Amino acid sequence: MKFKFNNNIIKAMRFTFVLISILATASLLLPAYAGNSQILEKRVSVTIKNATMEAAISEIQDQSKVNFAYDHQLIGKFTGVTLNVQNETLDNILKKVLGSRALGYKDVNGVIVINALTKEEIKQQQPGKLAGKVVDEKSLFLPSATIRIIELNKAIQSDEAGNYQLSAPAGTYTVVVSYISYESQQFNNVQIKAGEITPLDVKLLPSQNGLNEVVVVGYGTQKKVNLTGAVSQVDSKVFEDRPVAGIAQALQGTVPNLNITFGDGHPGSQGKFNVRGYASITNVSGSPLVLIDGVPGDINMLNPHDVETVSVLKDAASAAIYGARAAFGVILVTTKKAKNGKLTINYGSNFSQQQVTTRTDFITDGYTQLRLVDEAFSRNVGNSYSGYNAEDYAQLKLRQTDKSLPSVVVQNRNGQNQYVYYGSTDWWHFLFKNSTPAMDHHVSITGGNDKVDFLISGRYYQQKGLYQSDLREDVYNAYNFRSKVNAHLSKWLTVFSNMQFAANDYIWPANGYNSNNPGLYNHAMAAYVPKNPDGTFTYRTNLNNYGANEYADLQNGKSFGGTKSYDFTNTIGFTAEVIKGLAINGNYAFQLSPYSDF
């Protein structure tokens, strides 16, 4: 039997055959295409130090197993390439290496082609900026407000005057501005253009949820909605489970118009508090009055885990309660209360690591650094710093390429044998770490009955500095102890005791954290080495009278410094409710706050 197909069936079969052929061909080509498109997403680890661009590209090619094509004359003029990345995409690596040098790249059939960027391409690569001011409902500036670009997960905080400036690649973004106790604002489709500044001023309104909050003021507690003065309050949630050295770090950015600054970054650095910026025509700002459970005290000595609430009184209304002492604002700290009931023990600990984010990029090549230092020194003084001659420079130059040559040799100079140094010492990493560890252990015990209730708490905090562990480390230790006891003698009379003891000490090596570092920066030449071949320290060279090896002092512990601070406060008192709604409070506080250097 013969089958006869009509024309429509034949056309459909032909179309199906062609479609299958196209899909089959595409399926064969797809892996190759996908492979090429994924080249820039390949993850690579590369370490490059002060190399030429051609050497850097060669190293990236070896590590990534990806071929590169470029004009030798185009990239040959670029030097000083330094890079240290781990498990980074090839795309990001090339952006870091080529982006700042007006060079571009593209994937052409699996080969990365490097080319010079046109003026238009250079302009398009320039980031744009988002800038403006953040104010409250009264048009008062809001310092430490958070401005976040959602797509980039990038954020910045406004400065003391409420101003901010945030860089971002050209594009369309969603921007969210937030502040504690204020309603957040979201801005959609914000256009940032290359090389241009996009203005965005923001006015935030108070959160309605916070108006019913009960806050502590000088004469008791009130609902925030009923207050006429400017008051802000935060509770203990701000301090929970946070690896902070003290209350100053925990409060940063949490209270509107409360500015907290740190003079330096040494372990245990204490914060300076300021309410609403400079407060006098002479541009001099005083510190706010701090009351801890109604008694003046040092807020930096507090255990953050003891704090229940912090209220900040910001305007002149506080002077009606505290007088002239409140000229620069008032900070009221209320610590946690004793609780009756079954015995409860709470223990917590935190271990954290702080990373160095910015540091000077020191020259570690002995020849390069010494030539620069000697040239600058001779122009200022008239003679070289090192006392090295042309032959010494030649020896240092040889060691740039031949690392097998010794870094210390014995030569007869000025009629005597002495060590001459031809090293390339990285003094920064030799003396300092890249991160600092810290730990926090705290415990609290509460309990009691209808007659007596109590709270006992303690804390130990330690933070180490940047000096290497084989030296005498700089270490900050803080100790806190608090005891609260309430005795309910009758229905109308309660007596109480609130005792706090705090101590901290900070030990630094050498001549002090502010004086030994300049010695390292000024005299630790890369050409010098830490020790001589006989094991002695290289205090100075006999060729000059300037260089001093701080490493020797750090190793021997010849000089060190430190401070110790103590704070003891004991408050005893009573509360007598003579009639319903009328209570008489009385207390007596004893304080002792010695301070010593050693």
DSSP string, 389-434: -HHHHHHHHHTTT-TTS-SEEEEEETTEEEEEE-----HHHHHB-S
pLDDT (0 to 100) of residue 393: 92
- pLDDT for 25 equals 47
Q: How far apart are CA 378 and CA 508, in angstroms?
A: 34
Phi, psi of 550 (to 5 degrees): -65, -25
Residue identified by tokens 């701090």 is 290
The identity of residue 124, as a single letter, is Q
Helix (H) or strand (E) holding 123: helix 119-125
pLDDT of residue 355: 81
pLDDT of residue 443: 96
Question: What is the reported pTM?
Answer: 0.60
Q: What angle do CA 138, 143, 148 make, to 5 degrees?
A: 105
Q: Tell me, what's the pLDDT at 489?
A: 92
> What angle do helix axes 366-381 and 390-398 make, rounded to 10 degrees?
150
- The distance from CA 105 to its chain's CA centroid, rounded to whole angstroms, is 34
25: tokens are 């061909």
Task: Tokens for 6, please give them.
Answer: 């009509």
**Cα 553 vs. chain centroid, distance in angstroms?**
30
In DSSP terms, 171 is beta-bridged to 192
Element (H, E) at 380: helix 366-381
Cβ contact 250:244 at 8 Å? yes
Number of Cβ atoms within 10 Å of the Cβ of 559: 15
Per-residue confidence (pLDDT) for residue 30, from 0 to 100 = 37
Q: Which residue's structure tokens are 């993850």?
A: 43
Q: Look up residue 126 and give its DSSP letter.
A: S
Non-local (6+) Cβ contacts of 160 within 8 A are 141, 143, 259, 277
Q: State the DSSP string of 527-557.
A: TS-SB-TTS-B----TT-S----HHHHHHHT
Amino acid found at 512? G
Contact between residue 175 and residue 150 where contact means Cβ atoms under 8 Å apart: yes
Residue type for position 276: R
Taking the C-alpha atoms of residue 430 and residue 438, their distance in angstroms, rounded to an integer, is 21
Interior angle at CA 148, CA 143 and CA 151, nearest 5: 170
CA atoms within 13 A on the CB side of 445: 8
Question: What pairing do the DSSP bridges indicate for beta strands 582-592 and 493-509?
Answer: unpaired
CB atoms within 10 A of CB 229: 15
Whole-angstrom Cα distance, residue 90 to residue 57?
Answer: 11
Single-letter amino acid, residue 192: I
Give exposure, 44-82, as e/b (b: 16+ Cβ within 10 Å): bebebeebbbeebbebbeebbebebebeeeebeebeebe
For residue 170 the two structure tokens come to 């050209």
Cα angle at 502 between 445 and 494, to 5 degrees? 50
pLDDT by residue for the chain (598 residues), tens only, comes to: 444 445 554 554 554 454 445 444 444 443 333 344 478 888 889 988 888 989 999 899 998 899 998 888 888 888 888 888 888 888 888 888 886 677 888 888 889 998 888 777 776 667 889 999 999 988 888 888 999 998 877 888 898 889 999 988 778 889 999 987 788 999 999 998 888 899 999 999 887 655 555 555 554 555 544 444 577 788 888 777 677 888 888 888 888 888 888 877 788 888 888 887 764 555 556 788 899 998 888 998 999 999 998 888 887 767 777 777 778 888 889 999 988 889 999 999 988 888 877 777 788 899 998 899 888 888 888 888 888 889 999 999 999 999 899 999 988 887 888 888 899 988 888 888 888 899 999 999 999 998 999 999 999 999 988 887 777 778 999 999 999 999 999 989 999 999 999 999 988 775 554 445 555 555 678 888 888 888 877 766 556 554 555 666 666 666 567 888 999 999 999 999 888 878 898 989 998 887 655 4
As given in the structure block, the two tokens for residue 432 are: 């300092």
